[in-house]
Chain A
Amino acid sequence: MTIAGPRDELALVDLLDRLLAGGVVLTGDVTISLAGVDLVHVSLRALISSVSTLVEP
């Protein structure tokens, strides 16, 4: 078993699970209207393009 304590660097993907799919949903004056799942897809696209940039010189 691996245990990550509170002082360890949290994985971004674990943070995004909570910040984009968890938390209180409010209709703010500026609220991103996309669903949480869509946001993860957005970030995933960004990640893939940045990873492919790293892999291919």
Chain B
Amino acid sequence: MSEVMYLYAVADSDLVDADVTDMRAVDGAPVRIIAEAPIAAVVSAVDAERFSAPALRRQLEDLQWLEDIARAHNAVVSQLAQGRPIAPVRLATVFASVENVRALLRTRVEDFVAALGRVRGCCEWAVKGFVVGAEPLPATAVSSEALSPGRSYLERRRAQRDSRDLQSQKASAEAEAVHQRLVSLTLASRRYPPQDRRLSGQRDEMVLNAAYLLPEGVETELRRVVDEYHRGHLRLELSGPWAPYSFATLESDQ
């Protein structure tokens, strides 16, 4: 079986001192560290045929496969992110050989050093905001006695829809407000598009999907602000700490 190198992340070259003997990467393979001072790459060997471009494109249609790879990728990155700056690489980036990974580290060393500098001593937290489910129609909204049954139904439907729209607008405005507060508190922020409800399994409309970069150990204030805005029509979910996926990007990615 011929093998290629799956790249997870890049870190400082003292990563070679990390104990990776018990770590399992994609397909259960052992984790390997390739150092080219001052940086090092985290890789594992994968099957060249399964990780060829056409095979990858085909397999991405398989959600279970995508989930297995994503979880294995994140497990490696998040374990190595503990206590050190790390620049995670996007899913399914594969090199033909160890020598090609070394060449990457040599040619992009300045970019990686800058990216690692931006996230040194920091971690990523995520905040998602949802519109709290639509309230039942207020009984006083329509005087149904004066209307024909069909008209009454349509009026009721319209009132329900208007009520939902109003809730959504209020929640969106609150989400913008909490985002601005968090931007002022944190070192950097990045917004993602709202997640599709079919993929997230959330019944409620998503109005905020953002990541924030902050120094390790100072998330108390972030929690306080999220707690403060978690009210009324806005439901907030906080998760973290994440490896700095949203911030350890190279200048040329921006």
Contact = CB atoms under 8 A, between A and B. Distances in A.
Interface residues of A, number: 43
Contacts of A12: 67, 70-71, 199
Contact of B104 (A3, A14, A26, A34): A26
Contact of B62 (A20, A39, A46): A46
B173 to A, nearest CB: 18
A11 to B, nearest CB: 7
A28 B94 CA distance: 5
Interface stretch (B20-28, B144-152, B158-166, B234-242): B234-242
A54 interface: no
B169 interface: no
Interface residues on B, range: 35 or more
Contacts of B230: 1
B52 interface: yes
Interface string B193-237: 101101111000000010100000000000100110010000111
A11 B112 CA distance: 28
A26 B108 CA distance: 10
A11 B67 CA distance: 10
Interface string A1-43: 1111010101111111111111111101111111011011011
A2 B238 CA distance: 6
A29 B4 CA distance: 9
B238 A24 contact: no
A23 to B, nearest CB: 4
A36 to B, nearest CB: 7
B63 A19 contact: no
Nearest to B196: A44
Contacts of B37: none
B226 A40 contact: no
Nearest to A17: B192
B175 interface: no
A16 B209 CA distance: 13
A32 B126 contact: no
A25 B200 contact: no
Given A10-B239, A15-B74, A43 B10 contact: no
5 tightest CB-CB pairs across the interface, nearest first? A18-B245, A22-B245, A23-B90, A30-B94, A4-B239
21 contacts: A1-B230, A6-B241, A8-B239, A14-B126, A16-B199, A17-B209, A18-B211, A18-B242, A19-B90, A19-B245, A20-B90, A21-B192, A22-B190, A22-B245, A26-B89, A26-B108, A29-B4, A30-B52, A33-B53, A46-B62, A50-B63
